[in-house]
Chain A
Amino acid sequence: MSLKIVVLAKQVPDTRNVGKDAMTPEGTVNRAALPAIFNPEDLNALEQALRLKDQHPGSTVTILTMGPPRATDVIREGLFRGADDGVLLTDRAFAGADTLATSYALSQAIKKIGMPDIVIGGRQAIDGDTAQVGPQVAQKLDLNQVTYVTTIESVTDGVITLVRTIDGGIERVQAPLPILLTVNGNAAPCRPRNAKLVMKYKRALAPMERPADGTLPYAEEYDKKPYLNVTQWSVADVDGDLAQCGLAGSPTKVKAVQNIVFKAKESKRLTAADAEIEGLMKELLESHTIG
């Protein structure tokens, strides 16, 4: 049985390797110092999708991402590793979306792609760590759902068997398709790029990535090789309700943001002298900090 698989992927700032220059002296995030990367757990999800494709000939893997035009990097990266095609959801009206508005946009796009057998994404994105978008998409599409997946054992006769991580252990579960899965970081890492696929797709572009002045290099290739034209959809293309998209469609609002700077606290300096240690312990006991 061939499977129709959609991989949800996100381009994120690399918050894992936060170096000293990640924060400006004013305490704001220095975005320039954080490269944009393929969200790590989405790569684990892509690998699971590609494995299913290997096992079930005729299956298709479509990368779906929402973001600015440069997020097409994520689609290209997916194509280099074996995905069949990709869709970039991009529109100013999508900007400022919280997880709920994001899940609305993604679910509208999935409807337009055509109902897949499996929607799969990373457990969470490293810039928000919310783990919400996957289950929210599943609910909107009324799909079954299994989160924190580590291994897909089999897909047979429309039933998927898999292992997932739970608090303090593991669970083996079985569920009918169609289903949405979110994949944990401890699942198999993604296979590397395939050199042939890199050659094939390296010039793949979304329409909005094309130079505005019409000076597109190798312009004739895009007519001859339609796979170089990455599908790009706007709110209107996915039949989106503007009231449910972007900032307007987001029930959560950011009231305030406070930057954390490693500002030197005013520390009390003590020596190891008996009187000083005794003084400290007394102070902590009196304030009920300990004891």
Chain B
Amino acid sequence: MNNVFVYCEIDKYTIEEVSCELLTKGRKLANELGVQLEAIAAGHGITGKVEKEILSYGVDKLHVFDDERLYPYTSKPHTSILVNLFKQEQPQICLMGATVIGRDLGPRVSSSLHSGLTADCTSLEIGDYDDRKSGKHYEGLLYQIRPAFGGNIVATIVNPDNRPQMATVRSGVMKAEKVAEYYNGEIIYQEVAKFVPDTDYVVKVLERHVEKANNNLKGAPIVVAGGYGVGSKENFDLLRKLADELHGEVGASRAAVDAGFCEHDLQIGQTGVTVRPKVYIACGISGAIQHVAGMRESGIVISINTDPDAPINQIADYVITGSVEEVIPKMIKYYKENSK
């Protein structure tokens, strides 16, 4: 009762990265609240394949649902699993990935349980809340923090009265960290038929084509991004070297993509990928608002630009006035010299 639950997304037998990130966050929240962390794994043939890894994130109780009709994911059966399990277990918090699956499933569960759901949270914290209207004081609520209004504001949302407090979080926003290789949690193999009526299996997946993304830009902790100011394809390779050295990924502004310096799938910004790395190194990027929209939640921004008045410098923590060709090799050199 009253525990923190995480819905684990499982692609065949692989636990999605976002679920590991949420288990890590869920563990922290459970510690803060003094409750247990529970996880749900639903799929086909997962028994014996996913338990150890899920538990290693500090899961106290894992509910496994294994049935050939639970993979690939369809809305109704997974909804019934969560709804019926939650009616029984009464969790106070439920987290899931802001993925295609999480965004399909979360709203149905919240609608059925009449609980509040906040999509695409960028931060989750525990805190108190005073309701001005009723004068009621609430302790230990989940603060669900998310950008809103096209990213122009950041709102903190709470669900004072309804349980579970539900939130989805995008992949890469939080960090996955195992508690122990062998964490001693309880595993419960649930009888699927007790949770899912046969009438739920109505949507049939006829075909499925999934390709692994050839970059990990979204989840990268460090992004080295180039703009038109990089000047050439060859100079873009310098960015790749720096990114490799820092274990980061390369991104680009639209101008760099249009100029043919790199592939389209590297584009960061309103019409490309949104990134929120710990460190964002903007190389020769002027900083159009559409680009900034895709990176403004980055931790530390370092701007390398020959123009000391480039707009992006306004939001940069470090501004290096100089050319990409000159600065990047020096960064690589001094990183190597000092990192050992």
Residues of A within 8 A of B (CB): 13, 15-16, 18-20, 22-23, 29, 98-100, 103, 126-140, 144-148, 161, 165-176, 250-260, 262, 264-265, 267-272, 274, 276-278, 280-282, 284-285, 289-291
Contact = CB atoms under 8 A, between A and B. Distances in A.
A270 B319 contact: yes
Q: Which 10 A-B pairs have the closest CB atoms?
A: A15-B150, A272-B322, A251-B116, A169-B210, A135-B107, A252-B116, A136-B111, A139-B111, A251-B162, A132-B107
Given A103-B111, A165-B100, A252-B116, A281 B158 contact: no
B156 interface: yes
Contacts, number: 257
Interface in B224-263: 246
Nearest to A103: B111
- Chain A, interface SS category: mixed
Interface of B: 72, 74-76, 79, 99-101, 103-112, 114-120, 129, 131, 143-144, 147-162, 202-213, 222, 246, 270, 278-279, 289, 292-293, 296, 299-303, 308, 313-323, 326-327, 330-331, 334-335, 337-339
A170 B210 CA distance: 7
Contact of A170 (B151, B157, B209): B209
Nearest to A277: B330
Contacts of A173: 74, 203-206
Given A132-B119, A285-B335, 17 more contacts: A15-B151, A19-B289, A100-B111, A100-B114, A103-B111, A130-B118, A131-B119, A134-B107, A139-B112, A144-B203, A145-B75, A174-B206, A175-B203, A251-B116, A256-B155, A272-B326, A280-B318
Given A161-B206, A171-B205, A272-B327, A18 B320 contact: no
Contacts of A170: 208-209
Contact of A262 (B143, B202, B207, B315): B315
A29 B202 contact: no
A225 to B, nearest CB: 39
Contacts of B337: 278
A144 B108 contact: no
A140 B83 CA distance: 13
Nearest to A137: B111
Nearest to B289: A18
8 contacts: A170-B209, A251-B114, A251-B162, A253-B131, A255-B129, A257-B153, A258-B153, A268-B318
Contacts of B114: 100, 251
B249 to A, nearest CB: 14
